[in-house]
Amino acid sequence: MNRRDFLKAVGAATGGAVVAGCEPKKGTYKAISPLFPLPEGRIPGEPYYIRTTCTECPAACGVSVRMIDGVPLKLEGTPGHPVNDGSLCIRGQAAITRLYNPRRIRKPMRRKSTGAWEEIDWDQAYGAIIEAVNRARQEGRKNLYLSGRTAGSLGRLIDEFCRKAGFERLPEYEVFDYAALRQANRLVFGIGEVPFYDIAGCDFLLTIGADVLQTFGSPVSQQRQIARARRENGLTWVHAEPHVSLEGLQAQKRLVVRPGSEPHLLSFLLAAYGKSIPGAPPSGAAAVSRATGLDEGSLLELAEQLRKASRPLVIAGGVSLGGENGLATAVLCAQLQAAGGMTARLDFGRSLDMGRVGTLKDLQALANRLERGEAGVLFVTRTDPAGTAPDTMRFAERMEKASFRVALADAISATSEKCDLVLPLSHSLESAGDAVPHRGLRGLVQPVAEKLLHDTKTEGDILLDLLDEMTAEREFRSYAAYLKEQWRAEFGPGYEPQFSATGYLVRTAARQASPAPKPVPAQALKTTAMPEGPVLALVPSIRYYDGRSRSLKLLNEIPDPLTTITYGEWVSVAQQDAQDLKLQDGDELELAVGTWTRVLPAKIQKRLPPGVMMVDRGVTGACPTRVDPASGGEVAWLTGVRVRKTGGAVRLPVMSGSPSQHGRGIIPDPVHLKEGGNAHGDGHGKEHGEGHHNLSLYPEQEYRDYRWAMAIDLDACTACGACVAACYVENNVAMTGRDQHLRGREMSWIRIEPFYDREDGADFLPMLCQQCDAAPCEAVCPVFATYHNPEGLNAQIYNRCVGTRYCANNCPYKVRRFNWFDYRPRRDPQLRQPHGDLTDSIELPLDRVSNPLVSLRKRGVMEKCTFCVQRIREARDRAKDRGRKIKDGEMVPACAQTCPSEAIVFGNSLDPESRVSKIIQQGTHRVFEELGTRPAVHYVNGPIPDARLKNSDRGEA
Amino acid sequence: MQEYRFEDEHSYLHKLQELVDSGVPVRRIHAFSPIPVPAAEQILREKPTFVRVFAIAGALLGMVAGFALCIYTVLRYPLIVGGKPVVSILPFVVIAFELTILLGSLATFAGFLLNARLPYIPRIFNPDEYGTHFTILVEEER
Amino acid sequence: MTEQAVEQHHRLERDILAAMSRPTKWYWVALGVSVAAFLMGMALWLYMILTGMGVAGINNPVGWGVFIVDFVFWVGIAHSGTLISAVLFLFRARFRNRFNRAAEAMTIFAVMTAGLFPLIHLGRVWFAYWLFPYPNNHLIWPNFKSPLVWDVFAVSTYLTVSAVFWYVGLIPDLAIARRHAKNRIQMWAYRVFSLGWVGSVQQWKHYNKLYGLLACFATPLVVSVHSVVSWDFAMSVIPGWHTTIFAPYFVAGAILSGCAMVITLMVPMRKFFRLEEIITVKHFEGIAQMLLLTSLIVTYSYVVEYAIAFYSGNTYEISHFVYRLLGADEPGHYRYAYWVMVACNSVLPLLLFFRRVRTSIPALFVLSLFVNVGMWLERFIIIVTSLARDFDPYAWGLYKPTIIEVGITIGSFGLFFTLFLLFCKALPVLAITEIKEEYT
């Protein structure tokens, strides 16, 4: 081979290599096309927003997906959306991490004879199903279709499928099925639904066990309404509960009632309206006081407030309807609503769409049919009965009596474990569909992300494919086409522009006032007294809802608002019980109910009434709950609990260093003025706070155009943690995992600090970098890695930082976070840092949740909140293009953007017209002001004037 | 060249005195001792050393350099930290002080080497006996 | 009389230079152990550089742990040396001649050891050079307002000046050692480093002036260095750090630990190298008295700290110092550390009021060990407890050193003793000339 041939060969080889290298890999170059064409003139690298709908819970909030070059970065509430108007809750913010959840199923999987899973392709899967269906037909077994709550067009398609494919569609199964509430409303008002509660319109709100801030109804909307009602019509909110919850600690007044004694309280209030219901418990003040444990004084006061109020509202729900007396409570509450003229604020025209959700009775029936071996092919989609149904139902083992079991799910659950075939479902950000937040409102679900690593399908597509295979007739190319057809039929042609622009369509239904109450059968009012002995309450979880969000690492990373525990399970124990049992935090308790036993570490929970123990619903999964025969709902109050101290102990990742603020006046509250009598209590800070300003030897720094500042309304703040989740997603804040949390190495840039200092209740304070004018952290940095920028931000230059950690030591607010390891995800497990167990480092593909506008921090550097400086820069550029300054409210940090109660106001304090400077002029409280740090974050105890963010000005449209 | 060696300091001093009194010019007398003998300096009417001048010069230079360095650099890239003015003298005093000491002592050492004619290469190669005897060398008249 | 003096001079040379004779088995053992410890420490550091600071126990809120404790501890050790040679020289305290050479060596080695720790504790040590002022393409310089930069200047200045001072003292002795060189390498080393010293009247004239001036420079330097180190803490806002007494408090503490370390080193050295006639109990008594004095000053500072805290009426200060005193209910707090410290630094040294203790070498040796421990604990308490409990109760946290930190600390002792052992065999361990001066 001579020289020329050699060169030819080399040339060819390299050329070939280059060409091969140029071939686009899947998912790198292909454009993502949403349902509707995007507006022209989009600049690559510019963020833009696509409207869709959140599918984390039935509330179905409107979502604007922040996109850059076709990659979804962050979910934000859709401004002006009838449900959530620009806000999202903690779970909504974390929804994007579900898209990249490492536990997602990537391909259809079939159970091998050995019991192991094998990945197959879709045609094989369909083949298996059809074969099974035919076999079942021959055997004369019934094919069943069980799904989770289904709203909108999908329901119709399922009906169609069941009809054509010969399936029986069963009532849907949800853990939070509002059985008692719906039953009561059916009995009293004749409408078995969860109405829309017009809280914004009332001036007195009494919630009985209803966790209106966490999971009940439409949490974001309710939070928003409560905040606005507080500001606009001085709402008084009283919360009565048998345990302790965020609501109890957030309401102006908290009434602790004995578990199961809610009906007594209600019949007392009914009596206050001069109404006595036959069969209701005695309404005499003395008797009620004995039953509920409330002193007569506060009972009378409550009745007084209720009668005095011009627009009162009473809502019963949550744990109070989850007990033996749930139905009675709900019925009496409905009666009270009727008697108190509150029906004007119950809108059944906008009631929560529970689709065809049945009750546990229906599930019990199914279980029995399975037992009898009637079932052939069983479809279980978007629900996990085996994991969440009462263990007495033994659903898991009975499922196996069906001849062929198919699960449609996004991850392996207790149910799909029992199935022969698992079909992976697309995430709602990958799929077309629609949602119904409440009657008369249709939310658009459209695909924004390409299916990056998963070979998944939407339920609609799967059903259409199956119909195609079975009946060989195909009307629709895809589920998307089917949807368009449906929408055209429903909303008429020309609906598209508005639908795609806003993400929702309103079908103006006449406001349906609730009709006059009907007499109720007495057995609905049957109340039984709670037996003595400790009771265990399964309470809804703000982080995990009914447990469905348990697998999301982000939600595990963020502390539980009451206990500040991040990872793992625990049982909350009252202080007094803990003393009796000689318990420390982390001591293991063995809880036994019937055959069910569970060992959980104890956490002492202040304000929890003695005798009551709480377990986070989302945390523990299948529990020995019972079916309430009256309502068919779940009895989530476990009585006859046997408690034993095992003697073992584990360390709980509790983020809070102390439940008390030790009278340091961190939270501006007269209570602390009294108790913290010492010099540096809040009072001291106030008296001399102004003095501290001018006590500087140095001249004030002068700012040219902007001095960014923030005001936080502590009355409005509900400690829901949505801001924390938003911050994690917006700023690529690392998730460090349980092991690091136990070492005190969480990375949150903003945190909610609970302080249990008032005699009853607690205070919560969001703590983030205060962007001090005289920042102690800045001066001590030897290399200028942190400095005060011309707009007042306490800037942190990551690539200049050498990691002395002096700044963090010297920060009085302890809001600076150090990268102890390289927390960035590792593609090769071998390269992962040897800290904790490997599962602690972020698993792929979670690394894709990363905002390209914010640099990832390497190991050995300090990081912190900078008021979302990347957003400020974005806004400044936009303003520059338009030749103006940044408008007030045009730009807000991620935390302020998502806050459901609009508690965070951000703006330019140099501009006297900006809302933030208006608030500052009113006089505010600044944490540790007496240190002379001159923070730019101001805390106020409401009300903030004109709290609505100028959504229209926000630079996304 | 005459050489006198002594075991002890006293006879050494005594001899020096004697030589000076007998009218031998001090420049022709070279005296060596294993320990410092201040008395010998008076006898030989030595002038005071210049080392202290170096010390003062070095110290002043160091102080000026310290302030100059701080002020020049912050003005070169003015960044505001902790709400303090860009040029804040107080913290710079520390730097200036340390540099004063540093350059001061280094200059003093240099001054010593110059004045004491050290290092003296020839003697490094063939060093004299040192440390045992007090020695006096007297040059012959030329 | 003079006959005796001459005799003395010869014996001094013999005895002192005898220490440099062929090393014994035990010397090699000691050296081996030290080097091994040092290498282990370095290996652990390498591991930490490769994985991350996280392998140490530090966290939020305790961002500084054992590394900074060691830094302050070693800088403290470094203080007695220059103090003994410079300050006591100016005060004409004769007994210092018996210790100054070794003490100065100790100073230099301790500073070198201390200098490692700021590097070790750095999150990104590969950018450590950013702390030094040099013209660079970032066009950015260090922040001279930061106490850490003051540290860089103070410590490096201290190292340089101490080294010069030490060397100057060595020149005449090296000239003596020329005669006793055992091999060519030694001979040439001594010849070169003694710079051809002859001890002429003129040389002595300049030499004395130089030595005096250096002493004058070194004295304020000694005070300044540990003051600057103390300002690393005093300049912050953290309760327990932010107090004006820190500078004198730290200097006194430094001298206390320094004297203790001198005793710890000199007692065995005196024994192994048979220097009993030269270093007598009388001399040790001098050091012991300084130990007692500084211990009293330190005790006073402990009291003042609390006085200030409570007098200020400042919540954070008061609750912090109460915490220091009593710890908290939960386990794992630093409750006992404080009392051990007080026992070691304040109570035990009071024994020195008794002459019998002052004049008993073994007693002094044991006592010095206690003081070393106590002073290390003092720094641990100041640094760690202050960070563990500062302003925001939510952010309170605990710190527990990991095996890595312990290992690196042991490694630092390894380095220090390695250097000191080498010094013992390479250079005259006592200042021959200066001791000679006493016998005339």
Give dist(CA C90, CA A504) in Å, integer: 88
Interval A576-580 mean pLDDT:
94
Local confidence band at A537 (pLDDT 50, 70, 90 cut-offs):
very high
Give dist(CA A308, CA A284) in Å, integer: 20
Neighboring chain B residues of C140 at a CB cutoff of 8 Å: 77
Neighboring chain C residues of A822 at a CB cutoff of 8 Å: 52
- Name residues whose C-beta falls within 8 Å of residue A411's C-beta, 6 or more positions apart in sequence: A101, A103, A104, A105, A551
Grouping H, G, I as helix, E, B as strand and the rest as coil, residue A787 is strand
The pLDDT assigned to A689 comes to 41
- pLDDT under 70 in chain B at which residues? 142
DSSP annotation string for A867-930: S-HHHHHHHHHHHHHTTSPPPTTT---HHHHH-TT--EEEEETTSTTSHHHHHHHT--B-TTGG
- The answer to whether A787 contacts B79, with C-beta atoms less than 8 Å apart, is yes
Neighboring chain C residues of A779 at a CB cutoff of 8 Å: 143, 145-146
Local confidence band at A525 (pLDDT 50, 70, 90 cut-offs):
confident
The pLDDT assigned to A827 comes to 52
Chains sharing 3 or more CB pairs under 8 A with chain B: A, C
Reading the block at residue B50, the tokens are: 């210049």
Interval A883-911 mean pLDDT:
94
User: Which residue out of C58, C59, C60 would a mutagenesis test of the A interface target, given it has the greatest number of A Cβ atoms within 10 Å?
Assistant: C60
Q: What is the pLDDT of residues A73-121, one digit of tens each?
A: 999 999 999 999 999 999 999 999 999 888 888 899 999 888 899 999 9
Reading the block at residue A854, the tokens are: 């914010």
**Which residue in the block uniquely carries the two structure tokens 């011309």?**
A790
* Residues A638 and A535: beta-carbon distance below 8 Å: yes
The pLDDT assigned to C332 comes to 67
The pLDDT assigned to B118 comes to 86
Neighboring chain B residues of A784 at a CB cutoff of 8 Å: 77, 79, 81
Selecting from A664, A812, A860 the residue whose C-beta is nearest the C-beta of C315 gives A664
Interface of A with C in 783-812 (CB under 8 A): 783-784, 800-806, 808-810, 812
Cβ neighbours around A19 below 10 Å, total: 9
Q: What is the CA radius of gyration of chain B?
A: 24
The pLDDT assigned to A777 comes to 95
The pLDDT assigned to A834 comes to 41
Give me the number of domains chain C comprises. 1
Q: What is the pLDDT of residues A708-752, one digit of tens each?
A: 999 999 989 999 999 999 999 999 999 988 889 999 999 999 999
CA distance A587 to chain C (A): 13
Give dist(CA C14, CA B25) in Å, integer: 38
Q: Is A686's pLDDT higher than 70?
A: no
- The answer to whether A779 contacts B79, with C-beta atoms less than 8 Å apart, is no
Percentage, residues of chain A above pLDDT 70? 89
- pLDDT under 70 in chain C at which residues? 1-2, 329-332, 440
Neighboring chain C residues of B7 at a CB cutoff of 8 Å: 2, 6
Domains of chain A: 31-104+431-454+475-515 (2.20.25.90), 109-175+356-426 (3.40.50.740), 179-352 (3.40.228.10), 532-649 (2.40.40.20), 670-689+705-940 (3.30.70.20)
Selecting from B32, B108, B125 the residue whose C-beta is nearest the C-beta of C213 gives B108
SS3 content of chain C, % helix, strand, coil (to 5): 75, 0, 25
The pLDDT assigned to A848 comes to 77
Max Cα distance, chain C (Å): 77
DSSP annotation string for C54-90: GGSS--SS----HHHHHHHHHHHHHHHHHIIIIIHHH
Grouping H, G, I as helix, E, B as strand and the rest as coil, residue A405 is strand
Residue (of A66, A59, A56) closest to A83 by Cα position: A59
Range of the domain at C48: 3-439
H or E, element range at A404: strand A404-409
A818 contacts chain C (CB < 8 A): yes
The pLDDT assigned to C164 comes to 95
Among A163-177, A355-369, A533-547, A934-948, the range scoring the smallest mean pLDDT is: A934-948
Q: Is A19's pLDDT higher than 60?
A: no
Selecting from C58, C122, C390 the residue whose C-beta is nearest the C-beta of A802 gives C122
Q: Is A672's pLDDT higher than 50?
A: no
Interface of A with C in 574-633 (CB under 8 A): none
- Name residues whose C-beta falls within 8 Å of residue C127's C-beta, 6 or more positions apart in sequence: A802
Residue C387 maps to which CATH number? 1.20.1630.10
The pLDDT assigned to A15 comes to 62
Give dist(CA C226, CA C110) in Å, integer: 13
Domain boundaries, chain B: 2-46+127-138, 51-115
The pLDDT assigned to C99 comes to 86
The pLDDT assigned to B139 comes to 85
Neighboring chain A residues of B82 at a CB cutoff of 8 Å: 774-780, 788
Write the CA distances from C98 to A187, A509, A661, C272, C433, integer angstroms. 102, 102, 57, 16, 11
Q: What is the pLDDT of residues A778-796, one digit of tens each?
A: 999 999 999 999 999 999 9
The pLDDT assigned to C330 comes to 65
Cβ neighbours around A216 below 10 Å, total: 26
